[in-house]
Structure 1
Amino acid sequence: MDRLSLERRQVWIYLAAILGGLALGSLWPALVQGFEILLWPVLAVLLYTTFVQVPLLHIRDAFRDKRFVLAILLGNFVLIPLGVWLALQWLPDDPALRLGVLLVLLVPCTDWFMTFTQLGGGNTARAIAVTPLNLLAQLLLLPVYLSVFLPAADFGAALKTEEMLSAALALIGLPLVAAALTERWIESKPARAIWRERLGVWPVPLLALVVFLIAAEQVETVLEAGPVLLTVLPVFIGFLVVAALLARGLAGVLQLPVDTGRTLAFSLGTRNSFLVLPFALALPAGWETTVVVIVFQSLVELFGMVFYLWWLPRRLFKSPLGANA
């Protein structure tokens, strides 16, 4: 199965992986005890193969369309964080739940954002160009957001640990550096471009394996978190609606073309769940709900993207009369 076929079916692939993990963890709990050790290298390879698809060495290309860059930065790093903070006020006073919501909603996506942009008639070139800018900005700003939005006691207890720092270094920094070196190696000879295409097939099955391992290992937490997930479900659905409407407003104010407006909507609507998983997995005991909330949001988001593929080109960002969608 090629990359495009995998990406079109990824919603059902991830859902099957989660259900399979829950079944395995429920029926054979002793079998999944070592899954945590396996999870870390799989996640590291997932991050590497995903980062290879991001043009890390071409961040300057993002600034060619200044209005689009302004919309991306204003939407993803000012308006979305304000909206997330407002939504947080309606959630139960559960630090693990709130941290999960913050981690997963504050950082824009850098992988399937480009896929859905292409499928939804957006401007794929703009999506590719702005992705390294999104990645750099979120890595710099996420600690700032968490320190502002979380109470000092919760922030210190959950995040300022040696485990968190080592996880960030090993599972984000090293794959990021390796991907940048790979990109330089690929671009040194045109014939090597095939390697980016080959690596591009792996993020979907690797992410499916990651959520399978998490579901199997955290089956008790997942089952106990049922009421919690129902609590955050309206927040995640509301986020998708507000993000698209926000993109429509920004596109109108900044007079963005229709295809660029769609790209903006997919950027604001998709979140970087795989990037924040290392932080969540490194949390101390008692914070397992954070991981479950992040995985749950990614599943809700994928179903939301299926809706976006219908809603954006046919209703919110309709092509001008006579133009192709």
Structure 2
Amino acid sequence: MKNLRFLIIALFANFVVVPLVGYGIASLFLSKHPLLMVGLVIYFMSPCTDWFLSFTRLSGGNVALGTALIPINMTVQLLLYPFFLQWFTQNTVQVEAGTIGATLLQWFLLPLVIAIAAHQLLRLLAKPTVFERGLDIVDQATPWITALLVLQIFAGNISTILEHHTLFVWVLIAVFTFFLLTFLLGEGLRKTCRLNYPEHALFTMTTAARNAPLMLAVTMAALPEQPLIYAALIIGMLVEFPHLTAPRRILLVSREYRADYQNAEKKAEAM
């Protein structure tokens, strides 16, 4: 029941509060540049379904609950993708709805089936200690592999970014503002909903991390020949990775502080 409560809070934040906050930020900074605004809206409306789990684990968050959140986030964001574009972009662009199903199959269902099969096969063939060690190595390697992927995508679109470099300063400011507000949202909900530390860490990561790689793939299929939209997504992705290391550090420091405070209270009561 407690997990269901958290899932409802996370879904409400990810698909109601955060998109509205993101739309407000995009409108504030880039209303005069509709294609860049569309790219930011797509970026802001799509919660991460992969690397946020690694940062959740590194932050000491609830990984099991985060794993349950992945398919829900994936399904809801793909279903809402065309509707969000219509609601938030005033039909600046049109989406071909048929591409959503194909993208879901290619970028989520097939990789998910392969990953589950590989996971179960390795669990059966490898010794438990070797299997757990392998998972730890993969967890540690994931952020670096992701960083290389982001840099490769950035390099492939560098010409568009350089051509509009003055505009992308505003994109960077908008993305930074978004990250700041989502972090404050997590802090506010931690107190309001009385989230424990593992839930707090998970909530912070799921509302901060965005699903830019998948949304870039969907957008390139649904909205061909729109380099400015793609570039806005790429800029957000480029900034996001180093950003996620900051809340991770803040979360770990706050956990240590809370633990020291609780220990001091117990000692005071014992005296």
Please state which band the TM-score falls in when normalised by the shorter chain. Answer: 0.7 to 0.9
Give the superposition deviation at 1:209.
4.6
Contact 1:261/1:317 (<8 A) preserved:
no
- Matched residue, 2:232: 293
* Residue 88 in structure 1 maps to residue 21 in structure 2: no
Task: Find the partner of 1:71 among 3, 6, 9.
Answer: 9
How many residues get paired? 251
Contact 2:154/2:238 (<8 A) preserved:
no
- Matched residue, 2:114: 182
Distance 1:192 1:149, change over 3 A: farther
Deviations along 1:180-207, whole A, 9 cap, x unmatched?
432553476541686x959886795477
Distance 1:83 1:112 in 2: 22
Distance 1:299 1:138 in 2: 21
Contact 1:258/1:317 (<8 A) preserved:
no
Contact 1:67/1:256 (<8 A) preserved:
no
Task: Find the partner of 2:185 among 217, 223, 246.
Answer: 246
- Matched residue, 2:50: 111
Distance 2:228 2:80 in 1: 23
Give the RMSD, CA atoms, in angstroms: 2.9
Task: Find the partner of 1:280 among 216, 219, 228.
Answer: 219
Distance 1:273 1:308 in 2: 19
Give the superposition deviation at 1:280.
3.1
Contact 1:101/1:294 (<8 A) preserved:
yes
Deviations along 1:77-118, whole A, 9 cap, x unmatched?
111011112112212322210111011110101111011111
Contact 1:243/1:269 (<8 A) preserved:
yes
Partner-residue secondary structure (3-state), 1:134: helix
User: TM-score under structure 2 normalisation?
Assistant: 0.80
Amino acid at match of 1:226: H
Distance 1:254 1:183, change over 3 A: same
Distance 2:113 2:228 in 1: 35
Give the superposition deviation at 1:177.
2.5
User: TM-score under structure 1 normalisation?
Assistant: 0.68
Which ranges of structure 2 fall in alignment gaps of 5 or more residues? Answer: 264-271
Distance 1:304 1:255, change over 3 A: same
Distance 1:83 1:317, change over 3 A: farther
Distance 1:188 1:284, change over 3 A: closer
Deviations along 1:190-244, whole A, 9 cap, x unmatched?
41686x959886795477356425523x332121121121011121111111111
* Residue 173 in structure 1 maps to residue 113 in structure 2: no
Distance 1:210 1:299, change over 3 A: closer
- Matched residue, 1:102: 41
Distance 1:78 1:170 in 2: 26
- Matched residue, 1:264: 203
Give the superposition deviation at 1:288.
0.5
Contact 2:107/2:214 (<8 A) preserved:
no
Deviations along 1:122-180, whole A, 9 cap, x unmatched?
2222222222211122112222211111112x132xx23xxx744x4544422422234
Distance 1:86 1:255 in 2: 27
Distance 1:128 1:268 in 2: 15
